[in-house]
């Protein structure tokens, strides 16, 4: 199947006429196999699909957008590439629905780090395409969302966000600052912190899996 993003698929063990989708979006410098290691532990009635980001860094490493450093070692993101990836992911959701028996009203994005940042951007830009987001170890960057995102209807969108309190890559304060913005948009959000660095604690995994089931 020749879709716009290379991806791995775990078909649902419980087949319905149309099954819900968990779309996994990895972090900077990783690949589609990273989060897919969770697949066997995720609910049996979902399609679990893990996408590879479009920008190649080196062998086996990919990014949703470039992160550059200036002469003073300040880091800045390539917003144009990020916006392009936002729309690539939105289009990829449409492709998946066209090619697999997926329920278009039951799409969940699970993003880690840069994949989390993109998950927020896609859901806020196109809430008609995404019903739930699991946003791990990232933050909301409104510059990546479409300009008119605040006018969207978010009544069907729910978010589970989590972060490590000793994250050395993306400070926990960045995640905390995102929460009031999301709440102000009227989006239902559950936010949890764990005493870990830039990674997914076992308790974090169990909590978001329970949230998916609830």
C-alpha to C-alpha distance for 139 and 116, rounded to whole angstroms: 7
- Structural domains present in the chain: 7-213 (3.40.50.1820)
Contacts of 34 (CB under 8 A, 6+ apart): 26, 27, 50, 112
Q: Are 143 and 165 in contact (CB under 8 A)?
A: no
Residue 75: the pLDDT is 67
Q: Are 80 and 93 in contact (CB under 8 A)?
A: no
Q: Is 25 helix (H, G, I), strand (E, B) or coil?
A: strand
Residue 214: the pLDDT is 86
Instruction: Show the tokens assigned to 80.
Output: 């144009």
**Residue 165 DSSP symbol:** T
**Residue 131 DSSP symbol:** S
Q: Report, as ranges of residue numbers, the positions in the chain whose pLDDT lies below 50.
A: none
Contacts of 180 (CB under 8 A, 6+ apart): none
Residue 77: the pLDDT is 82
Residue 72: the pLDDT is 59
């Amino acid at each position: 199947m020749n879709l716009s993003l290379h991806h791995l698929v775990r078909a649902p063990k419980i087949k319905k006429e149309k099954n819900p989708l968990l779309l996994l979006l990895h972090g900077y410098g990783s690949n589609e196999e990273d989060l897919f290691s969770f697949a066997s532990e995720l609910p049996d009635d979902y399609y679990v699909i893990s996408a590879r980001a479009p920008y190649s860094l080196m062998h086996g490493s990919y990014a949703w957008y470039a992160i550059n450093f200036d002469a003073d070692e300040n880091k800045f993101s390539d917003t144009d590439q990020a916006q392009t990836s936002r729309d690539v992911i939105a289009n990829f959701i449409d492709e998946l629905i066209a090619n697999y028996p997926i329920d278009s009203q039951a799409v969940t994005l699970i993003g880690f780090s840069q994949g989390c940042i993109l998950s927020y951007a896609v859901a806020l830009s196109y809430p008609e395409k995404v019903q739930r987001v699991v946003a791990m170890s990232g933050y909301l960057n409104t510059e990546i969302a479409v300009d008119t995102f605040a006018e969207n209807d978010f009544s069907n969108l729910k978010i589970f966000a989590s972060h490590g309190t000793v994250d050395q890559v993306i400070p926990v304060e960045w995640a905390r600052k995102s929460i009031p913005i999301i709440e102000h948009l009227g989006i239902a959000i559950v936010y949890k912190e764990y005493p870990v660095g830039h990674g997914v604690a076992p308790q974090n995994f169990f909590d978001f899996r329970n949230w998916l089931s609830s």
